[in-house]
Amino acid sequence: MPADRHDSSAMPPRLALYISALVWPGAGQFVQKRWLAGWFYALAFLVCSVFLTIAIFAPLFWNLRMLAEYSGKTETLNFHPVAFVKIMLWLGLAALVYLASLLDTFLSHKRRQKQQESHADN
């Protein structure tokens, strides 16, 4: 008898891990129907990504605006430095969320495999 197309056991064994790695952290948890974990990782990665983007582009746009307004004035320009520490902090947190999501997806897959094997043995 062919497997049901919507049956989670019919999916390739590591599909959730691949999706979590290639699409977005939390996507693998959604594939595994682990909604709370999926939302946690997806939103945590989104927050880190937004703050990383702000840390990179806010000083750059500020400096571009200063240059546009300068246009030959005699006073000195007050540039805002790019905060390397903030960038590394948000990049590091995003990487941790990404890796934690992959590890969580992998461990959940292994737990599910063990449960299926123990049920098959009984």
- For the stretch 27-80, pLDDT in tens is 999 998 999 999 999 999 999 999 999 999 999 998 888 887 777 766 777 788
What are the C-alpha distances in Å from 120 to residues 70, 115, 116?
Answer: 74, 9, 6
**Domain boundary assignment for the chain:** 17-121
Instruction: Answer yes or no: pTM beyond 0.95.
Output: no
Predicted confidence (pLDDT) at residue 88 exceeds the cutoff of 90: yes
Q: What is the mean pLDDT of residues 82-104?
A: 95
Residue 42 neighbours by CB under 8 Å, 6+ apart:
24, 25, 26, 27, 30
